[in-house]
Amino acid sequence: MLAYVFWHWSFRETEQDRYESSLFDFHRSLIERRPDGFHESYVFRLKDTPWVSNDGLVYEDWYLVDDFHALSLLNEGAVTGVSRAPHDRIAQKADGGVGGVYRLRAGHPVLSRARHAVWFSKPRGLPYDDFYRGIPSLALEAGGGLWERQMVLGPAAECCLLATEEIVIPRALETRVVTVELAWLGA
């Protein structure tokens, strides 16, 4: 399973409820259209995101798909047909955005119950096999999912552990913990 993760924020003069209304309309259009391989989408509100310098709320959208082919179909479906007008409305209200593609490496995609996101990267010089030896067990014990970046498309760290509870990561890793608030669940 892959996730396209997209961080975005509105212009300062845009009211939060108007922005969210347009955003949720767009997500509803994707559910209505349901491109092949698209499972569901989630929107989180973030008050503090280390890689986005913005004074207001940042939104983090997660789009779950089967594979890269499904991601391509989602990309096309998001800007055509029933999704075109809702996409254009939210895009006009957005002041900026960045994204990335992540693969579920261990655990479960528990986004509907996620409250904490722990972002981190592999320490320099450490082989990937050694790096991942203990991390998946942390995800499973916390009832969460470990997501691994597939492509460097945005500024976020290499890995994200989404979980319902706070997770203690080994001190050898530099982590950024972000509290997430579920704003939208579209299945």
What domains, with CATH codes, occur in the chain? 2-186 (3.30.70.100)
Mean pLDDT, residues 48-73: 90
Task: Report the pLDDT value the prediction gives residue 163, as an integer from 0 to 100.
Answer: 83
Please check the confidence at residue 153 and state whether its pLDDT lies above 70. yes
Q: What DSSP string describes 12-37?
A: TTS-HHHHHHHHHHHHHHHHHH--TT
Percent of the chain whose pLDDT exceeds 90: 53
Which phi and psi (to 5°) does residue 40 adopt?
-165, 170
In the structure, what pLDDT confidence band is assigned to residue 179 with cuts at 50, 70 and 90? confident
Please check the confidence at residue 54 and state whether its pLDDT lies above 70. yes
* Residue 121 per-residue DSSP state: -
Phi-psi label, residue 176: left if phi above 0, alpha if psi -120 to 50, beta otherwise: beta
Task: Report the pLDDT value the prediction gives residue 110, as an integer from 0 to 100.
Answer: 81
Task: Report the pLDDT value the prediction gives residue 122, as an integer from 0 to 100.
Answer: 85
In the structure, what pLDDT confidence band is assigned to residue 14 with cuts at 50, 70 and 90? very high
Give SS3 for 48.
coil
Q: How far is it, in rounded angstroms, from Cα 106 to Cα 99? A: 21
* Number of residues written out for the chain: 187
Angle at CA of residue 99, ends 96 and 105, nearest 5°: 160
Please check the confidence at residue 118 and state whether its pLDDT lies above 70. yes
State pTM to two decimals: 0.91
Q: What DSSP string describes 141-187?
A: HTT-EEEEEEE--SSS-SEEEEESS--PPPTTS-EEEEE-EEEEEE-
Mean pLDDT, residues 74-97: 96
* Mean pLDDT for the chain overall: 89
In the structure, what pLDDT confidence band is assigned to residue 26 with cuts at 50, 70 and 90? very high
Mean pLDDT, residues 90-98: 95
